[in-house]
Chain A
Amino acid sequence: MNTTEVIRAENLTKIFKTRESEIVALKNINLSVKDGEFLCIVGPSGCGKTTLLRIFAGLEKQTLGKVYLRVKNTEKPLTAMVFQGDSVFPWMKVTENVEYGLRMRGVPTRERREIALKYLKLMGLEKFAGYYPHQLSGGMKQRINVARAFASDPEILLMDEPFGALDEQNRLILQQELLRIWEGSGKTTVFITHSIDEALLLGDRIIVMTAQPGRIKAILEVGMARPRDMLSIKSSPPFVQLYREIWELLREEVLKARDIKLKK
């Protein structure tokens, strides 16, 4: 593992065994994530993107291969994950949810309240700090989910389609917000999305994965200057060019994934 790498996966394979069948979710994944990089992963649904992220987060163990993560600062948590579904604890108030990671690390109440409030403000939720999640909309809960990961201040941020369930307007605002926070923090981020637009707006590099079994099909450098915003990049030639390239790669895989589903 060279010094600029923060995550490195070598020949990573994950096989889910059930009584009737074996599903190869990931096959021979080799990749490295550089320090401070924003890496986006796109791929057809069911290609093992989430599994890859869960292995990085330590929630799942690979069947074969090696994964290395660099710990630079022992004070900070190594990873924090933004989950895809509704993962906000219904029994905690909004603030308590956001400060959960800090509480697990034993940060004093007062300090973590302050940090939580800061991220609630960034997410436009400070008015709802004392609410319970069931009083909020799905989009608001997803923002709590994002705020919770940021508040814990990890070295590596793992995000699994965090804006997938949001409406377009809120998504645009949060993407911009995420970029702003990320550019300020320089946090290494692995970000799963099904939106090519989103990947191009956010990512330094984009990994395109194949349909099941999930393999790396292509790695693209985005190379557009930062700070970016959707309005100005969307009509720029590199954006259009990359969009077409990624879509052609993905299209094949999405069609393949459809065939796999039909066969089942």
Chain B
Amino acid sequence: MNAVEEKPNRIIKREEISEGASKSLQRRAFLFQILSFLSPLLLLLLWEILARLNAIDVRLFSSPSRIFAALVPLVSSGELLYHTLVSAWRILLGFIVGAVPGVLLGLSMGLFPPVKALLQPLVAVTFPIPKLAVMPLILIIFGLGESSKVFTIAIGVFYLVLINTMAGVLNIDTIYMDVARSFGASRVQFYTTVALPGALPMIFAGLKLGMGTALLLIVAAELSAARAGVGWMIWRAYDMFDIEKMFCALIVLAFLGYIFSYVLDFVEKVVIPWKNR
């Protein structure tokens, strides 16, 4: 054997964490925070510079300063707030009108095989239809008033909530059903203590998806036969070639989306305190 002889009893020392290393970890976390804060600002700055240098056509792309200049009177006159509230109200109503039956039907489809057998094909066939394609029909049925907008949003929310709720019930671990059965839970007790709480995380996943769709649909729904709303503002600005106003409306939509998802997250935390986050 002529293997290289290793020194016996070699000692390797594991170092304790140094002061410097933990400091540098903190510094890095801080740096990342600054980076994520800076990136939008840098983008705005770049946009402004390009506009000032005439590198982009301000008639089409506008510039942050122009948009801000247009935003101030829109805010101070209350016009922007008015349109925002109109749209937010439609979204909220549509959301409720869609989500409530979605949850109820989703629960019953998940719990009762006959109901699922009855409705599943209908859902499977109608779900893929783009909701925008149904809008003209909705306008004919519900007329040009508020209800047509609310219903357009409701339809989009309904399917997402329904499908997620059903999946939520079907995915509840069978051991929980065994526990309920072995302790003699009645039908009603089973819904309230196992099916509904067990499906809640998926229900919320559906609600969040539904919120995204609601924002998409509000713009489309306000395209036709509306006299107010953020979506209406966008289409109106399009007609008038008012790019700045259009951007202001987009800012509002981003803001609305942020608020709604924040509210949903908050409600989720209250309703599902047991979820491991």
Contact = CB atoms under 8 A, between A and B. Distances in A.
A77 B274 contact: no
B274 A132 contact: yes
Nearest to B189: A104
Contacts of B274: 90-93, 132-134
A242 interface: no
Nearest to A132: B274
B238 interface: no
A59 B176 CA distance: 12
A59 B182 contact: yes
A80 B182 contact: yes
B183 interface: yes
A85 B175 contact: yes
B178 interface: yes
A162 B180 CA distance: 18
Contact of A101 (B175, B176, B183, B275): B183
B184 A77 contact: yes
A35 B197 CA distance: 38
B202 to A, nearest CB: 13
Nearest to A93: B274
Contacts of B176: 87, 89
B184 A89 contact: no
Interface in A132-147: 132-134
A48 to B, nearest CB: 17
Interface string A97-115: 0001101110000000000
A89 B182 CA distance: 14
A174 interface: no
A104 B175 contact: no
Contacts of B272: 91
A45 to B, nearest CB: 18
Interface string B123-164: 000000000000000000000000000000000000000000
A129 to B, nearest CB: 15
Interface in B253-277: 272-276
A210 interface: no
A91 B197 contact: yes
A58 B274 CA distance: 30
Contact of A134 (B183, B184, B185, B276): B276
Interface of B: 175-176, 178-186, 189, 193-194, 197-198, 200, 272-276
14 contacts: A57-B182, A77-B183, A81-B182, A83-B175, A87-B175, A87-B176, A87-B179, A92-B274, A93-B274, A100-B183, A104-B185, A105-B184, A132-B273, A133-B274
Q: Top 4 A-B pairs ranked by shortest CB distance?
A: A91-B197, A134-B276, A101-B183, A132-B274
